Amino acid sequence: MSRLFLLLLAASLAPPGPGRLFSRRTAAGLRRGSTPGFSGFSAERGKELYYRRNTKDGKAISCASCHSDDPRRSGMTPSFRKIGPMASAVNPERFRDPAKVEKWFRRNCDDVLSRACTPLEKGDFLTFLTTLR
C-alpha cells in the first residue's frame, strides 16, 4: 500500500504534463477512500516534521541538519557531499520518481527518526516541500 500511496501522491503533486498518471482530484479521492478519517495532508505538520529535533548517538539531528534550514537551498551530507534543494519549486525533479522518493524516505526516516515514516508523515512532508515558493 505504501508504494501505491507514494505513486498517487507524486502524481497528484506533479505539475501538469505528459507524465501525469492521475489528476489531482482522482488521486485525492483515492487517498480519502483508502484511509478512513483522512481529511488531507498538512503542510504545517510536514514543516514540523522537517524541523523536529531528534537525538541520535547523543547528537541533535533533524532533516534540516543536512538539507539546510531553508529547503529551497542546497544542503550538505556529513561527508560534505552537496544535496540539492528539497523544495520542488527550486528542484522540480526532486519528487518525480516514486521509487527514489520511497528509497530516500526509507533511508532518511530511519537515520533521523530511528523508525519508518508513516504514510501520513510522508504525505505531510511532501505537501510542505511542494507548497514552498
Q: Look at residues 133, 127, 24, 42 and name the one whose alpha carbon lies nearest to residue 89.
A: 133
C-alpha 26/C-alpha 75 separation (Å) is 34
The backbone torsions φ and ψ at residue 35, rounded to the nearest 5 degrees and listed phi first, read: -130, 95
Q: Which structural domain, as residue segments, surrounds residue 112?
A: 2-131
Lookup result for grid cell 502524481: 11
pTM of the shown model: 0.74
Region of poorest pLDDT, from 11-15, 26-30, 52-56, 64-68? 26-30
User: At 22, is the pLDDT very low, low, confident or very high (cuts 50, 70, 90)?
Assistant: very low
Lookup result for grid cell 498517487: 8
Domain count, the chain: 1
Q: What is the mean pLDDT of residues 40-48?
A: 93
- The most confident of the ranges 25-29, 31-35, 47-51, 58-62 is 47-51
Average pLDDT along the chain? 81
Q: Domain of 7: which CATH number? A: 1.10.760.10
Q: What is the mean pLDDT of residues 62-75?
A: 97
Higher per-residue confidence, 19 vs 63? 63
**SS3 assignment, position 1:** coil
CB-neighbour burial class of residue 30 (10 A; exposed 0-12, middle 13-18, buried 19+):
middle
